Structure 1
């Protein structure tokens, strides 16, 4: 991983639950620091998997006290106290 990467956000959309984790570089190592979950929203009535993703990320954002979303978009690249360097799903 690039030396400039400090924050990584990852999501996983399961059949019932969407999970999001925040991974932070602390010293020279990466650690999972926060985890959020939300119901997966791929089926009716929502029919939009991104709603569950945004909800899971919002939970991580609240737990971490770090702004990760702006207008339901992931903030990239990160600045001092907002956003992430990488997003993987």
Structure 2
């Protein structure tokens, strides 16, 4: 689970939970098939599809040094009907 950084909970991702879609920030070097394998193994679910996009890093400045925040890749994972991830359950 080193490749999956953390689950994302924003207003948009909470709306996606109704469609059985879950969002995770993952390592930039990981690909869809690798993340699919990890999600299916770790959560014991079946993945129907995965969409991904790279988030832009925000520019930060400390004194005279300019840099960027950490870059992540966000994966939106759609599960097959009947499956859910207990991490996001509303119980």
Normalised by the length of structure 2, the TM-score is 0.27
Larger Rg belongs to: 2
More helix by share: 2
Normalised by the length of structure 1, the TM-score is 0.27
